[in-house]
Structure 1
Amino acid sequence: MSCPESNITSLEKGDILHQQVLASFPLCDLTEEDLSQNPQFCKLLSTLTQHVDSTGLTLTLKTELEKAEQKLQSQRRNWLQSQGLFQTLKEMIQEHCVKKHHSIVPPDRNMFYETMEKCLLVARCVRMLDPSDTTEKELPNILGLEPEHVLQLMPLEKNVQRMKQSLPHELEKHLKKKCLSLLCYYHPEWENESENLKCTKLMHLSKQVAKDKKSAESLKERCRENKILLQRQTQLYLSELVKCIKLLQTLILDHRLKIQTDLDKKKLEYFEGKCELVLQKIKTEMVEIQLDTYTPDAISAHRKIREKLESELKFRQEEKQSVELKLASFEILGKEFQALAEEYGRLRREIEMKNWALKEFTQFSNK
């Protein structure tokens, strides 16, 4: 009694181990049957789960990769902040240009945007003329210009200071407007509400967006898991389908072909009987046609004529054979006999001609 229990326990442990290995390596194209047929390979994969993750990276490399990703994310955030600020300032300038063509703008605001535009343009030019440490410093400058040459085109210092003082307020106003637009896009039903209520709801928008993003990521992860499960099920289905096809081929070859001989024999007997029946029917039809066409006297007369013609034909065939034998015996004599035969034929014709002339002369004399 103890032996079966130990076997059941070992089987259960083996199934658990197989499931753990498949869960640890979801990207590998493996099945439980592969692992059960290769226990040493299964043990190797089980040992590797302590040193690598589900993607195949070692733990040390995964730690270094996470640090590099964190550093990359930090640099990316810094770049996005500066790029976002730059794009926001460009949008403010573009909106000002559009507004200036459709309405009258106060001179101070016009001066503010012109100063900001010049400052951005000079900053871009200076950045292009002052490459970073990652580029080659031996490259010649554009048109021989230096950053100091471009800095001379900066607006007046007092205009720059005024622009810097007003910039935070204008920037905050523009960003607030964009945030409210984003809120109305995210919740169109809030568009007709008051600005204060919109600002209050705007404070909770980031949490809601983060919640929706988390939900979308969970759905994405679930889709990925379902995709992996679907691939495994598809592989299992295909393997079972191949087994069914092989079993069906075995049934066709081993069972159907055995009765094929008997089936062919029955078909042959059936067609033979059918052909015999058709022949008997043809003979019956021929007899009926003869009975409908000829009387008994006509049939007997035809039989006598047929017998006479057959006897005459037999006689002529025998005569033909005898003549052919004589001709063959004459041909043995060669060309000399042929000349003699021609001379004999000429003499026979002359004799016949003279006999005819003599007969005609005799008849004329008697008259």
Structure 2
Amino acid sequence: MCSRRETTDSSDVKKGRSLRDKILVSFPLCDLKEEDLIQNPHFCKLLASLTKHVDQTGLSEQLKTELDQAEEKLRCQMCHWLQFESLHRGLEEMIQDHLVKKQYTDVSPEEKMFFETMEKCLLVAQCVKHLDPSSTTHQDRPPLLGLTPQHVMHLLPPEEVVQKMKKSSSTQLEQHLKRKCLSLLTYYDPELEDESETLKTMKLSQLSAQLNKDKKRAEGLKGIHQENRALLQRQSQVYISELTECIQLFETFISHHRMKVQADLDRKKVDYFEQKCVLLHQKLKSELADLQLQTYTPGTIAAHKKIRKELESEVKACKEEKQSLESKLSSFGILGEEFEALAKEYCRIQEEIKVKNWAIDEFRLYNEKL
């Protein structure tokens, strides 16, 4: 019974993981995380139901169909426009090549007449296109410089010259396009550069199929790249979570180990600094004794010690006297301003007594001299 339950639980886990993988692949642009899907199972089921109705870009089936139809219509119009645009550019490139060729080599009169006629026809057609109002321009807009398409049509070469140019233009254009296709082929496959024209022509007929094949292969690789990107994202998230747990465990181990050995380390540091202080004190005393011996004689040092001792005793007596006087002054300061006036009067009387005693002494000395 227990084994059946474990088997059921493991199958549910595998089913849930496959469902989450399917959702992550189906919505690569939503930046979803597997943890979010695990924490929100109802949201996971909602996304699983949405996968039946929307594609990877988030478009519904109906909107996707309308978008495909619009893209197909746009593609047809673009192909139609590209046909005329490639024809026009091909003719212009032929004219440019002729102008370059004319600068370096001599050309026949027929070739010169052909390209001059083509250039005039293209210029007139371009002017007519700008002067002819269409659905993309304002119908009530006045013509440019007062010109109409009929004003420039008479600039065309004679009809027989134009017809002659049209007959040979298809052959010339075909040769020009063939040269461009061969250059494209050699660019796509440089190994065919030195091959014969027959082989190049045969390879050219297979170029379109080869390009389609390469395009499909690129699209397949793009899909694989998206799947690998989603897988790498999930693996990165798992790796980051595991790495975070490892870092937390490592920090816990470091803090525990540090608390365990910190007391012993502090005690050893204290002992070291104590011994270092004792050593420095002994070294300082040794340096001081050495300096005294280098500066004074032993008798001078003994005399200095005796003088220092007497001076220290006198300083001590002065300090004691100072403390006693300060205590007396502090006791006198308690009496207030009246005692201060009496003290000043006392000081004045003492000064007068000193002056009178000095006068008496001077008078006595003067009588003794007489």
Of 63, 66, 84, 2:65 maps to: 63
Quote how far apart the aligned CAs of 1:249 are.
3.9
- Work out whether residues 129 and 142 of structure 1, in 8 Å CA contact, stay in contact via their aligned partners in 2: yes
Superposition map of 1:186-225 within 5 A: 186-225=188-227
Question: Residues 330 and 337 of structure 1 are in contact (CA less than 8 Å); yes or no, is this contact kept in structure 2?
Answer: no
Do structure 1's residue 32 and structure 2's residue 45 form an aligned pair? Answer: no
Tell me the TM-score normalised to structure 1 length.
Answer: 0.78
Question: What amino acid is the match of 2:96?
Answer: Q
SS in 2 for 1:154: coil
Report the count of equivalent residues.
352
Which residue does the alignment assign to 1:98? 100
1-structure distance, mates of 2:122, 2:58: 47
Paired with 2:26 and 2:259, the residues of 1 have a C-alpha distance of 49
Cα distance in 2 for residues equivalent to 1:316 and 1:226: 93
In structure 2, what is the Cα distance between the partners aligned to 1:69 and 1:315? Answer: 112
The within-5 A match list for 1:290-301 is 294=298
Corresponding residue SS for 1:139 = coil
Change (3 A) 1:211 1:294: same
Paired residue type of 1:116: M
Q: Does 1:348 align with 2:361?
A: yes
Deviations 1:98-151 (A, max 9, x none): 333433333333222222222211111111122442333333321122222222
Quick one: distance in 1 between partners of 2:116 and 2:47? Answer: 67
Contact 2:98 2:115 in 1 (8 A): yes
Partner of 1:144: 146
| 1:255-270 mapped onto 2 (5 Å cutoff) | 255-257=257-259, 259-270=261-272
- Match status 1:338 vs 2:360: no
* Alignment-mate amino acid for residue 361 of structure 2: R
- Name the stretch that deviates more: 225-234 or 60-69: 225-234
- CA-based RMSD: 3.9
Alpha-carbon distance in structure 2 between the residues aligned to 1:244 and 1:161: 85
Q: Give ranges in structure 1 of 5+ residues lacking alignment.
A: 359-367
The 3-state SS of whatever aligns with 2:31 is coil
Distance 1:352 1:331, change over 3 A: farther
Structure 2 Cα separation of the partners of residues 316 and 111 of structure 1: 131
**In the TM superposition, what whole-angstrom CA distance separates every residue of 1:58-111 from its partner, at most 9, and x where no partner exists?**
121111111111111111111111110001011111222233343333333322
Q: Who is 1:166 aligned against?
A: 168
Deviation at 1:276, TM superposition (A): 3.9
Q: Which amino acid is 1:11 matched to?
A: V
Structure 1 segment 78-89 matched on structure 2, within 5 A = 78-89=80-91
CA distance in 2, matches of 1:170, 1:83: 17
CA distance in 2, matches of 1:178, 1:132: 34
Moved more, 104-113 or 329-338: 329-338
SS at 1:333 equivalent: helix
Aligned residue number for residue 181 of structure 2: 179
Q: Could you tell which deviates more after superposition, 136-145 or 209-218?
A: 209-218
2:127–2:152: 8 Å Cα contact kept in structure 1? yes
Matches within 5 A, 1:264-303: 264-276=266-278, 278-279=280-281, 294=298
Do the aligned partners of 2:25 and 2:227 also contact (CA within 8 Å) in 1? no
Aligned-partner Cα distance in 2 for 1:208–1:112: 37
Distance in 2, matches of 1:108 and 1:268, equals 109
**Shift, 1:53, TM fit:** 0.9
Letter in 2 for 1:134: T
Letter of the aligned partner of 1:343 in structure 2?
K
Over 3 Å counting, the alpha-carbon distance change for 1:190 and 1:152 in structure 2 is same
CA distance in 1, matches of 2:115, 2:15: 74
CA contact (8 A) 2:26 2:55 kept: yes
Q: Which residue of 2 aligns with 1:128?
A: 130
Give the Cα–Cα distance (whole angstroms) in 2 for the partners of residues 107 and 307 of structure 1. 132
Distance in 2 between the 1:123 and 1:353 partners? Answer: 148
Q: Pick from 37, 40, 43: which aligns with 1:41?
A: 43
Match of 1:167, SS? helix
Shift of 1:32: 1.9
Between 1 and 2, higher relative CO (CA 8 Å, sep ≥ 6) is seen in 2
Q: TM-score, normalised on structure 2?
A: 0.78
Match of 1:108 among 98, 107, 110: 110
Instruction: Find the counterpart in structure 1 of residue 338 from structure 2.
Output: none
Candidates 142, 153, 156, aligned match of 1:154: 156
1:57 Cα deviation (Å)? 1.4
Give the 3 Å change call, closer, same or farther, for CA 57–258 of structure 1 in structure 2. farther
Cα separation, 2, equivalents of 1:58 and 1:308: 109
Question: In structure 1, what is the Cα distance between the partners aligned to 2:190 and 2:317?
Answer: 121
1:288 positional shift? 9.5
Which secondary structure does the structure 2 equivalent of 1:27 belong to? helix
Aligned to 2:335: none
Is contact 2:34-2:234 (8 Å) kept?
no
Letter in 2 for 1:16: S
Distance, in Å, in 1 between the alignment partners of 2:23 and 2:325 is: 106
Matched residue type, 1:145: L
Is the alpha carbon distance of 1:275 and 1:141 closer, same or farther for their aligned partners in structure 2, counting shifts above 3 Å?
Answer: same
Contact 2:26/2:56, CA 8 A, preserved across alignment: yes
